[in-house]
Amino acid sequence: MANNAKGGDGGFIANLGKIYGIYTGGFAGFVIVLAILEQMGVSNQVIGYLFVFLTIGVYALIGYLSRTAEMGEYYVAGRKVPAFYNGMATGSDWMSAASFIGMAGTLYLLGYDGLAFVLGWTGGYLLVSILLAPYLRKFGQYTVPDFLGARYGGNLARFCGVIVLISASFTYVTSQIFGVGIIASRFLGISFEIAVFVGLAGILVCSMLGGMRAVTWTQVAQYIILIIAYLIPVVIMSAKVTGVPIPQLMYGQALEKIAVLEQSMGVVKGHTAVFSNAKGEINLLDAVNFFALILCLMVGTAALPHILMRYFTTPSVREARQSVAWSLFFIFLLYFTAPAYAAFGKLEVYQNVIGTPIANLPAWVQSWGEIGLVGTCDAADAATRYVMCKGVVGNGDGILQLNEFRIASDAIVLATPEIAGLPYVVAGLVAAGGLAAALSTADGLLLAIANALSHDVYYRMIDPHAPTKRRLIISRALLIVVAIAAAWVASTKPSTILAMVAWAFSIAASGLFPALVMGIWWKRTSNTGAIAGMVAGYGVCVYYLVMTQFYGMPLWFGIKNISCGLFGIPAAFIVTYVVSLMTTAPTKEMQDFIDSIRVPKGGVKLASADDAISH
C-alpha cells in the first residue's frame, strides 16, 4: 500500500477485493477469538480494551502503509479510487457517530418524528448526484474553495468558502469526538473529558501521514467494521423475538408488542401523523419543524465539504456519478436497519427493565448512569445522582416505572447489546463499530479543514511558491491544532451528537450550497453576488443559532435552531440573485468555463489560468 515504489498502486488497486476480503475474514476471526476468551472468563474490561485499541491499531497501520508525500495523492488519492470503493469510503465518511450512535436512539425516543433525519440525509444525495458531484469532479481541483476561487474571481470568494467550511466542519468534527468520548469512557473505564483526547490518536495517525490517500483506504476498512457491528446485534434480537433473523422486515412484530405494553402502561400518544397530538389533531408548528429539518439536512448534505471532496478522488466524471449511487447503497444498509434497532431495543427495555425492582436492575443501568446517559428517577435524591432526572418526581415504591426511566438517544445503540442480555463481546463489537463511524468521519472532516487552511489559505493566498514539503508540514501541523481544539470543545459537552451535526448541516447549506449551485447552473451569477450571498446566508444562520442556543433569544416563528438553515438558505439565494442582477455579469471567458464543466467530456476552460485542465 505504501507509495514508495513505482507501479505499486496499480497492483494494489487491482487486488482490492482480495485485500479487503482477507481483512474482513481476519476481523471475523478476531471477534470469534474474543468470544471464546469471554467464555473462558476473560474480564469485560480486557475485551473492551482489545476491541478499542486493536481496531484503532489496524486503522493506524493502514494510515502508515498509505503514507505519501505527493500532493495529488495527499489531497485527492491520486484520483485512482474505483466507484465501488469510493462509495464505501463515502458511506463510512458519511455515517458518523450521528448515524451510527444517534439515529436509532432518535427513532427510539421520537418515533416517526425521527424519520426527518433519515429522509433529509438520504435525500441529500440526490441533490449531490444531480447538481454538484459530476461538475466538481470535472473541475478537477483539490477543494471546494478551489472551485469558488476559480468561479468567483479569486481570494475573497475562496476565503469566504474557507470560513464556512471551517465553521461547519469544526462543529461536525466536535460531535464525532464527542461520540468517541462516550465510547472510550464507557468501554475503557476513564472519564469522558480524558476519553475525548484518547480518541485523537487513531484519528491523527490515519489522516496525518497519508492525507486523502490514507483516509480513503482506512474508511473502506472502517465501513466493513461498522456495518458488521451494526447488523449483528439487531439480527440476533430479531431471531430471538420473531424467529426470523431479518430485522428490517420483522420489526413490525416488535412494534405491535410495544403498542400493547404501552397501552397497559397507560401511555397515550398519537402517531397517525408524525406531527399529530394524542387526539390525532395536526400541530402545524410541528409539521413545519419536521419539514424544515428535512430541507436543511438535504441541502446541507449536498454542501458538506468533506463529502464533496470524496468525488474529487474518482478516475473520471462517470465514476463520480457511479460512486454517488454506491454511497447511497452503503448508507441504505444502515439506515434501513435503524428503525429495527430502535424497535427491538425499546421492546427489550419495556419487557426487561420497566417494572423491575430498582435494587435488582441489571448492571448496565448503573454503568451507563455513571457517564450520565441513563437515569432511574424513583428516589428523592435521583436528581443529584442523575442529571437526566431533574424535574422528575418518582413515587418511591422501589419499582421502576416508565416515567421514572431516562435514557439518552446517544446510549441506545451502544447499550442495546447489554440491554438485550447478549454476550459482552457483542457490546464490544458495537463499540468498535461506533468508534469506526466516528473516526472515519472525523478523519475526513479534519482533513477538509487542514487542506482548506494549508492549500486554500497558505498556498493559494499567502505563498503560491511554497514547496510541497512545506505545504504538507503545515497541513499536518494545522490538523493537530484543529483536532486538539475540537477535542477540548467536545469535552465541554455542548449538546447532543445529533444536534451538533444538524447545526453543521445548516451552516454548510446556508454558506456554500447557493454559491455552488448558482455558480454551476446560472451563468449570470456575479462574483459580488456570490460573495454577498455567502456572507448573508452564513451570517443569518450562525446569528440565529448562537443567539437562540446560548443567549436565550426567542425562536423565530417557532423554528428550532437545528433548522437554522431555514433562514440562511433563502437569504443566501435571494441576496446572490439580487446582487448579481445589480452588478457586472461574468466575462465571456468565465461563461465558457461554466459551459465546459457542464459537459461530461473534454477539457475545462479556466478563465483565470493559462492552460485548461484536461481529464
Domain boundaries, the chain: 8-344+422-584
The pLDDT of residue 5 is 38
Judged by DSSP in three states, 375 sits in strand
DSSP lists the bridge partners of residue 282 as 276
The pLDDT of residue 2 is 46
Alpha carbon 355 to chain centroid distance?
Answer: 36
pTM of the full structure: 0.81
At 493, list the grid cell. 459537552
Report the range of poorest mean pLDDT among 46-55, 95-104, 525-534: 95-104
Give which of 535, 66, 538 is closest to 300, Cα–Cα.
538
Rounded CA-CA distance 568/571 in Å is 5
CA torsion, points 341, 343, 345, 350, in degrees to nearest 10?
Answer: 180
At 143, list the grid cell. 477543494
Report the range of poorest mean pLDDT among 130-134, 238-242, 306-310, 521-525: 306-310
Whether the predicted pLDDT of 58 surpasses 60: yes
In DSSP notation, 493-505 reads: --S-HHHHHHHHH
> Quick check: 425 and 27 in contact, CB under 8 A?
no
Give residue-wise pLDDT tens across range 67-125: 665 655 555 544 677 888 888 888 887 777 778 877 888 888 877 777 888 888 888 88
Give which of 350, 395, 389 is closest to 369, Cα–Cα.
389
Backbone φ and ψ of 400, nearest 5° = -75, 115
* C-alpha triplet 58, 64, 66: angle, nearest 5°: 105
Judged by DSSP in three states, 399 sits in strand
Tell me which of 331 and 541 has the higher pLDDT.
541
Tell me which of 319 and 329 has the higher pLDDT.
329
> Quick check: 529 and 575 in contact, CB under 8 A?
yes
Sequence-distant contacts of 352-356: CB under 8 A, at least 24 apart: 352/419, 352/421, 353/400, 353/405, 353/419, 354/265, 354/400, 354/401, 354/402, 354/405, 355/399, 355/400, 355/401, 356/399, 356/400
Tell me which of 164 and 420 has the higher pLDDT.
164
CA distances 169 to 391, 442, 443, 447, 500, Å, are 35, 9, 11, 10, 11
Whether the predicted pLDDT of 167 surpasses 80: yes
* C-alpha triplet 268, 386, 425: angle, nearest 5°: 90
Give which of 487, 431, 437 is closest to 50, Cα–Cα.
431
> Quick check: 317 and 80 in contact, CB under 8 A?
no
Backbone φ and ψ of 399, nearest 5° = -110, 130
Rounded CA-CA distance 195/187 in Å is 10
CA distances 23 to 30, 220, 358, Å, are 10, 11, 44
Tell me which of 41 and 611 has the higher pLDDT.
41
Sequence-distant contacts of 459-467: CB under 8 A, at least 24 apart: 460/145, 460/146, 460/149, 460/155, 460/158, 461/155, 461/158, 461/159
Give residue-wise pLDDT tens across range 175-206: 888 888 888 887 777 787 788 777 776 667 65
CA distances 305 to 156, 167, 312, 552, Å, are 18, 11, 11, 30
Give which of 469, 380, 451 is closest to 69, Cα–Cα.
469
> Quick check: 188 and 403 in contact, CB under 8 A?
no
The pLDDT of residue 508 is 94
Whether the predicted pLDDT of 264 surpasses 50: yes
Sign of CA dihedral 215, 218, 224, 229: negative
> Quick check: 133 and 326 in contact, CB under 8 A?
no
**412: CB partners within 8 A, 6+ apart:** 104, 105, 108, 109, 341, 342, 345
**171: CB partners within 8 A, 6+ apart:** 500, 503, 504, 507
Rounded CA-CA distance 512/535 in Å is 10
Report the range of poorest mean pLDDT among 168-172, 464-468, 522-526: 464-468
| Helix%, strand%, coil% for the chain, nearest 5 | 75, 0, 25
**pLDDT, mean over the chain:** 81
DSSP state, 525?
-
The pLDDT of residue 283 is 62
DSSP state, 464?
T
CATH of 8-344+422-584 among 1.20.1730.10, 1.10.8.60, 3.40.50.740, 1.10.510.10? 1.20.1730.10
